Amino acid sequence: MFNWFKRLAQPKVDNPAQFEPESYQGFTIYPEPLAEHGQFRLHGRITQQHNGEQQEYRLIRSDLLPSAELAASLMIDKAKRVIDENGARLFD
């Protein structure tokens, strides 16, 4: 009955080109743009090893961009800003 609503709430995800992770101030940024209706949503992960445990923060924005490369580049820029503003508190 609500299948149409589930499809509306979940973006169509294709697996675009893989992008190399980038290290920044002890964090690793993984740009993972999501294909959505012919554009790409800014999406990725920020990770850090802490006490032998991998910590992860997912970053997803409403920004839709015309190419996966542009979305990946902007993801890295935004992730760096999040790291600059939050540092280790990112995982609290």
Q: What is the pLDDT of residue 16?
A: 46
Q: What is the pLDDT of residue 17?
A: 58
Q: What is the model's pTM?
A: 0.78
Three-state SS for 33? Answer: coil
Q: Which residues contact 72 (CB under 8 A, 6 or more apart)?
A: 19, 31, 32, 33, 44
Quick check: 70 pLDDT over 80?
yes
Q: What is the pLDDT of residue 51?
A: 82
Angle at alpha carbon of residue 71, lines to 16 and 74, rounded to 5°: 145
Q: What is the pLDDT of residues 8-67, one digit of tens each?
A: 555 544 444 589 999 999 999 999 999 998 999 999 999 998 888 999 999 999 989 999
Q: What is the pLDDT of residue 89?
A: 86
